[in-house]
């Protein structure tokens, strides 16, 4: 069980670590809205990783195949949402000081990244391929073992987002509003680019 948990932890950490649109959102939100909003943005992605990890670990092939079959429109929806977030980010004005967000803001930060990760069918394909390649699916043939593995995946992903938001937050105090304005524009352009790429690659 301990080995399976450690494997899940490493897997969750390695899947979350590459910088992509979620990483850009986490960094930008940490700098402009504080560490908690950045962390919640990452936890939305970690939750989606846990869900897809669970589908792979429990051998829910019918669910996996359904998601793969719907890859075209899921990718299109995710691409459009990325473009929307990119435009919204690029046009937003940085506040002079970080204001504690409302519950609605926290839920929005969490929900947006959860939605973005769930609309990326490549995530479930990656989990299924990695589980099969490493023999993790065979090790997790019991429900208890599968739950331990999924917990490890979630915590590994969450650990990465905690480390990222914490480290980025260290630079927030020395970021003047002028730089934050350029950060918003740069992050917006990157998100739009990710969205355009997703739309161009669909199907």
Written as six digits, the tokens of 182 are 């350029």
How would you classify residue 95: left for phi > 0, otherwise alpha for psi between -120 and 50, otherwise beta?
Answer: beta
Residue 7's pLDDT band, with cuts at 50, 70 and 90, is: confident
What pLDDT is stored for residue 84 in this prediction? Answer: 82
What pLDDT is stored for residue 103 in this prediction? Answer: 65
Written as six digits, the tokens of 61 are 């092939």
Which 3-state string (H, E, C) describes the chain?
Answer: CHHHHHHHHHHHHHHHCCCCHHHHHHHHHHHHHCHHHHHHHHHHHHHHHHHHHHHHHCCCHHHHHHHHHCHHHHHHHHHHHHHHHHHHHHHCCCCCCCCCCCHHHHHHHHHHHHHHHHCCHHHHHHHHHHHHHCCHHHHCCCHHHHHHHHHHHHHHHHHHHHHHHHHHHHHHCCCCHHHHHHHHHHHHHHHHHHHHHHHHHCC
Please state, in angstroms and rounded to a whole number, the distance separating the CA atoms of residues 158 and 48: 11
What pLDDT is stored for residue 155 in this prediction? Answer: 92
Nearest to 109 by CA among 36, 160, 185: 36
What pLDDT is stored for residue 47 in this prediction? Answer: 92
CA distances from 43 to 79, 91, 111, 164 (A): 20, 25, 9, 12
Residue 67's pLDDT band, with cuts at 50, 70 and 90, is: low
CB half-sphere exposure, 88, CA atoms < 13 A:
10
pLDDT beyond 90 at 110: yes
pLDDT tens figures, 21-32: 888 888 888 888
Residue spans per domain, the chain: 2-201
Q: What is the mean pLDDT of the chain?
A: 76
């Amino acid at each position: 069980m301990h080995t399976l948990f450690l494997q899940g932890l490493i897997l969750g950490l390695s899947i979350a670590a590459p910088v992509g649109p979620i990483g850009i959102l986490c960094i930008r939100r940490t700098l402009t809205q504080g560490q908690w909003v950045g962390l919640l943005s990452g936890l939305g992605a970690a939750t989606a990783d846990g869900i897809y990890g669970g589908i792979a670990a429990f051998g829910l092939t019918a669910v996996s195949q359904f998601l793969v079959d719907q890859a075209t429109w899921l990718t299109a929806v995710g691409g459009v949402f990325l473009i929307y977030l990119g435009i919204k980010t690029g046009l937003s004005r940085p506040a002079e000081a970080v204001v504690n967000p409302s519950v609605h803001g926290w839920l929005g930060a969490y929900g947006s990244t959860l939605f973005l990760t769930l609309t990326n069918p490549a995530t479930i394909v990656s989990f299924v391929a990695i589980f099969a390649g490493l023999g993790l699916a065979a090790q997790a043939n019991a429900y208890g073992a599968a739950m331990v593995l999924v917990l490890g995946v979630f915590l590994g992903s969450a650990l990465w987002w905690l480390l990222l938001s914490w480290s980025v937050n260290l630079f927030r105090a020395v970021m003047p509003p002028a730089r934050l304005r350029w950060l918003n524009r740069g992050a917006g352009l990157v998100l739009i680019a990710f969205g355009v790429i997703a739309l161009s690659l669909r199907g």
